[in-house]
Chain A
Protein backbone atom coordinates (compact mmCIF):
# COMPACT_ATOMS: atom_id res chain seq x y z
CA UNK A 1 0.00 0.00 0.00
CA UNK A 2 1.45 3.34 -1.06
CA UNK A 3 2.26 5.75 1.70
CA UNK A 4 3.16 9.41 1.96
CA UNK A 5 3.52 10.75 5.47
CA UNK A 6 3.92 14.28 6.77
CA UNK A 7 5.54 15.12 10.07
CA UNK A 8 2.65 17.08 11.59
CA UNK A 9 -1.10 17.31 11.00
CA UNK A 10 -1.42 20.66 12.79
CA UNK A 11 1.19 23.30 13.52
CA UNK A 12 0.99 26.73 15.17
CA UNK A 13 3.92 29.11 14.73
CA UNK A 14 4.65 32.77 15.34
CA UNK A 15 5.51 35.35 12.70
CA UNK A 16 9.22 35.31 11.95
CA UNK A 17 9.82 31.74 13.08
CA UNK A 18 11.62 29.26 10.85
CA UNK A 19 9.30 26.36 10.05
CA UNK A 20 10.19 22.90 8.75
CA UNK A 21 7.60 20.63 7.16
CA UNK A 22 8.77 17.09 6.48
CA UNK A 23 7.43 14.60 3.96
CA UNK A 24 8.44 10.96 3.54
CA UNK A 25 7.33 8.49 0.86
CA UNK A 26 7.95 4.76 0.78
CA UNK A 27 7.29 4.11 -2.92
CA UNK A 28 10.78 4.87 -4.27
CA UNK A 29 9.28 7.69 -6.34
CA UNK A 30 11.59 10.08 -8.15
CA UNK A 31 9.23 13.09 -8.09
CA UNK A 32 8.11 14.86 -4.96
CA UNK A 33 5.97 17.99 -4.73
CA UNK A 34 4.89 20.57 -2.18
CA UNK A 35 1.54 22.33 -2.63
CA UNK A 36 -0.48 24.72 -0.56
CA UNK A 37 -4.26 24.56 -0.63
CA UNK A 38 -6.43 27.59 0.11
CA UNK A 39 -10.22 27.92 -0.21
CA UNK A 40 -11.27 28.95 -3.69
CA UNK A 41 -7.73 28.70 -5.06
CA UNK A 42 -7.19 24.98 -5.20
CA UNK A 43 -3.77 23.38 -4.97
CA UNK A 44 -0.87 25.58 -5.98
CA UNK A 45 2.59 24.18 -6.57
CA UNK A 46 5.33 25.68 -4.39
CA UNK A 47 8.36 23.54 -5.28
CA UNK A 48 9.08 20.14 -6.67
CA UNK A 49 12.02 17.78 -6.94
CA UNK A 50 12.76 15.10 -9.52
CA UNK A 51 15.88 13.66 -7.90
CA UNK A 52 18.02 13.86 -4.80
CA UNK A 53 19.46 17.36 -4.37
CA UNK A 54 17.50 18.61 -7.38
CA UNK A 55 14.72 21.17 -7.02
CA UNK A 56 12.59 23.32 -9.26
CA UNK A 57 10.37 26.30 -8.46
CA UNK A 58 6.67 25.88 -8.86
CA UNK A 59 4.10 28.64 -9.28
CA UNK A 60 4.46 30.29 -5.86
CA UNK A 61 7.99 29.71 -4.47
CA UNK A 62 8.42 33.10 -2.78
CA UNK A 63 9.04 32.80 0.95
CA UNK A 64 9.78 29.07 0.75
CA UNK A 65 12.76 26.82 0.20
CA UNK A 66 13.13 23.04 -0.02
CA UNK A 67 15.63 20.31 0.67
CA UNK A 68 15.93 16.81 -0.74
CA UNK A 69 18.94 15.05 0.74
CA UNK A 70 17.46 11.55 0.44
CA UNK A 71 15.17 10.12 -2.21
CA UNK A 72 12.37 9.36 0.23
CA UNK A 73 12.35 12.70 2.06
CA UNK A 74 11.39 16.18 0.87
CA UNK A 75 11.37 19.11 3.26
CA UNK A 76 9.63 22.46 2.91
CA UNK A 77 11.16 25.36 4.81
CA UNK A 78 9.55 28.67 5.65
CA UNK A 79 12.57 30.84 6.39
CA UNK A 80 10.58 33.49 8.25
CA UNK A 81 6.93 32.57 8.62
CA UNK A 82 4.34 35.21 7.85
CA UNK A 83 0.59 35.26 8.47
CA UNK A 84 -0.15 34.93 4.76
CA UNK A 85 1.53 31.52 4.86
CA UNK A 86 -1.29 30.18 7.03
CA UNK A 87 -2.60 27.36 4.88
CA UNK A 88 -2.94 23.62 4.33
CA UNK A 89 0.31 22.17 2.98
CA UNK A 90 0.17 18.96 0.97
CA UNK A 91 3.09 16.82 -0.10
CA UNK A 92 2.82 14.44 -3.04
CA UNK A 93 5.02 11.99 -4.89
CA UNK A 94 4.95 10.25 -8.28
CA UNK A 95 7.06 8.20 -10.59
CA UNK A 96 9.18 10.13 -13.06
CA UNK A 97 7.32 9.04 -16.20
CA UNK A 98 4.25 7.13 -17.22
CA UNK A 99 0.58 7.31 -16.44
CA UNK A 100 1.09 7.42 -12.71
CA UNK A 101 -0.99 9.67 -10.57
CA UNK A 102 0.42 11.71 -7.72
CA UNK A 103 0.01 10.25 -4.24
CA UNK A 104 -0.71 12.72 -1.49
CA UNK A 105 0.15 12.90 2.16
CA UNK A 106 -2.50 13.75 4.79
CA UNK A 107 -1.55 17.42 4.85
CA UNK A 108 -0.26 19.83 7.49
CA UNK A 109 -2.53 22.63 8.57
CA UNK A 110 -0.24 25.53 9.51
CA UNK A 111 -1.41 28.55 11.44
CA UNK A 112 0.97 31.50 11.67
CA UNK A 113 0.08 33.99 14.39
Chain B
Protein backbone atom coordinates (compact mmCIF):
# COMPACT_ATOMS: atom_id res chain seq x y z
CA UNK B 1 0.00 0.00 0.00
CA UNK B 2 0.88 3.67 -0.07
CA UNK B 3 1.49 5.64 3.07
CA UNK B 4 2.96 9.09 3.62
CA UNK B 5 3.24 10.46 7.14
CA UNK B 6 4.04 13.94 8.34
CA UNK B 7 3.21 15.79 11.56
CA UNK B 8 -0.09 17.60 11.70
CA UNK B 9 1.12 20.89 13.13
CA UNK B 10 4.30 22.64 14.22
CA UNK B 11 4.77 26.00 15.91
CA UNK B 12 7.95 28.09 15.82
CA UNK B 13 9.09 31.62 16.49
CA UNK B 14 9.98 34.19 13.86
CA UNK B 15 13.68 33.91 12.99
CA UNK B 16 13.93 30.30 14.19
CA UNK B 17 14.43 27.07 12.25
CA UNK B 18 11.81 24.38 11.77
CA UNK B 19 12.27 20.88 10.37
CA UNK B 20 9.27 19.05 8.91
CA UNK B 21 9.74 15.31 8.62
CA UNK B 22 8.08 13.06 6.08
CA UNK B 23 8.24 9.27 5.98
CA UNK B 24 6.87 7.26 3.12
CA UNK B 25 6.13 3.71 2.13
CA UNK B 26 5.18 3.54 -1.54
CA UNK B 27 5.20 0.80 -4.13
CA UNK B 28 7.36 2.88 -6.50
CA UNK B 29 9.53 5.96 -6.10
CA UNK B 30 10.42 8.53 -8.71
CA UNK B 31 11.00 11.64 -6.67
CA UNK B 32 9.84 13.45 -3.57
CA UNK B 33 8.30 16.91 -3.74
CA UNK B 34 7.52 19.56 -1.16
CA UNK B 35 4.76 22.12 -1.69
CA UNK B 36 3.68 25.16 0.30
CA UNK B 37 -0.01 25.95 0.57
CA UNK B 38 -1.36 29.11 2.17
CA UNK B 39 -4.93 28.97 3.43
CA UNK B 40 -7.43 29.10 0.58
CA UNK B 41 -4.74 29.03 -2.09
CA UNK B 42 -3.20 26.51 -4.47
CA UNK B 43 -0.15 24.47 -3.47
CA UNK B 44 3.05 25.92 -4.90
CA UNK B 45 6.19 23.93 -5.65
CA UNK B 46 9.10 24.32 -3.22
CA UNK B 47 11.59 21.53 -3.84
CA UNK B 48 12.28 18.21 -5.48
CA UNK B 49 14.62 15.36 -4.47
CA UNK B 50 15.19 12.21 -6.47
CA UNK B 51 18.69 11.30 -5.24
CA UNK B 52 19.85 11.03 -1.63
CA UNK B 53 21.17 14.15 -0.04
CA UNK B 54 20.41 17.76 0.61
CA UNK B 55 19.01 20.29 -1.86
CA UNK B 56 19.29 23.92 -0.79
CA UNK B 57 17.21 26.77 -2.12
CA UNK B 58 17.68 29.96 -0.20
CA UNK B 59 16.01 29.68 3.20
CA UNK B 60 14.50 26.30 2.32
CA UNK B 61 16.38 22.99 2.15
CA UNK B 62 15.11 19.48 1.55
CA UNK B 63 16.78 16.20 2.38
CA UNK B 64 16.12 12.68 1.11
CA UNK B 65 17.16 9.20 2.22
CA UNK B 66 15.63 6.66 -0.12
CA UNK B 67 16.85 3.65 1.89
CA UNK B 68 15.04 4.98 4.97
CA UNK B 69 11.97 6.27 3.13
CA UNK B 70 12.55 9.62 4.78
CA UNK B 71 12.68 13.26 3.84
CA UNK B 72 12.66 16.55 5.67
CA UNK B 73 12.04 20.15 4.74
CA UNK B 74 14.10 22.69 6.66
CA UNK B 75 12.86 26.25 6.92
CA UNK B 76 15.47 28.72 8.18
CA UNK B 77 15.12 32.32 9.40
CA UNK B 78 11.39 31.88 9.69
CA UNK B 79 9.20 34.76 8.62
CA UNK B 80 5.54 35.35 9.41
CA UNK B 81 4.68 34.72 5.75
CA UNK B 82 5.99 31.15 6.14
CA UNK B 83 2.87 30.30 8.15
CA UNK B 84 1.25 27.77 5.82
CA UNK B 85 0.64 24.09 5.25
CA UNK B 86 3.57 22.10 3.83
CA UNK B 87 2.75 19.06 1.73
CA UNK B 88 5.05 16.12 1.15
CA UNK B 89 4.36 14.16 -2.06
CA UNK B 90 5.92 11.11 -3.66
CA UNK B 91 5.80 10.55 -7.40
CA UNK B 92 5.33 6.95 -8.45
CA UNK B 93 6.92 4.97 -11.25
CA UNK B 94 3.76 4.58 -13.33
CA UNK B 95 3.76 5.98 -16.86
CA UNK B 96 1.92 9.16 -15.89
CA UNK B 97 3.91 10.23 -12.87
CA UNK B 98 1.05 10.11 -10.41
CA UNK B 99 1.65 11.71 -7.03
CA UNK B 100 0.71 10.48 -3.56
CA UNK B 101 0.33 13.29 -1.04
CA UNK B 102 0.70 13.44 2.71
CA UNK B 103 -1.98 15.20 4.73
CA UNK B 104 0.18 18.28 5.20
CA UNK B 105 1.92 19.94 8.15
CA UNK B 106 0.49 23.24 9.34
CA UNK B 107 3.36 25.52 10.39
CA UNK B 108 2.43 28.42 12.65
CA UNK B 109 5.03 31.17 12.99
CA UNK B 110 4.63 33.33 16.09
CA UNK B 111 6.17 36.78 16.69
A residues adjacent to B (C-beta < 8 A): 4, 31, 33, 35, 40-45, 48, 50, 56, 58, 90, 94, 96-97, 99-107, 109
Residues from chain B with Cβ under 8 Å of A43 in the complex: 43, 87, 89, 99, 101
B interface, size bucket? 20 to 34
Q: Are A102 and B31 in contact (CB under 8 A)?
A: no
What is the distance, in angstroms, from B88's C-beta to the closest C-beta of chain A? 9
Q: Which residue of the partner chain B has the closest CB to A50?
A: B96
Count of chain A to chain B residue pairs whose CB atoms are closer than 8 Å in the complex: 56
- Decide: B97 and A104 in contact? CB cutoff 8 A: no
Contacts of B50 in A (CB 8 A): 99
- Which residues from B are CB-within-8-Å of A33? 98-99
Chain B binding surface SS class? loop
On whether the beta carbons of B101 and A42 are closer than 8 Å, the reply is: yes
Cβ–Cβ contact A96 & B98, under 8 A? no
B87 contacts which chain A residues (CB < 8 A)?
42-43
Kindly list chain A residues whose C-beta atoms are within 8 Å of the C-beta of B89.
43
Candidate in B31, B33, B43, B50 with the most chain A CB atoms within 10 angstroms: B43
Contact between chains at B44 and A104 (CB < 8 Å): yes
Contact with A along B34-59 (1 / 0, CB 8 A): 01000011111100101000000000
| Sample of 16 A–B contacts (CB below 8 Å) | A42-B4, A42-B101, A42-B104, A45-B98, A48-B96, A94-B97, A96-B96, A99-B31, A99-B50, A100-B97, A104-B42, A104-B43, A105-B42, A106-B42, A107-B40, A107-B42
Whole-angstrom distance between the alpha carbons of A44 and B2 in the complex? 12
Query: What are the 9 tightest A-B residue pairs by CB atom distance, in nearest-first order?
Result: A42-B103, A104-B42, A43-B101, A101-B45, A42-B101, A106-B42, A50-B96, A104-B43, A42-B102
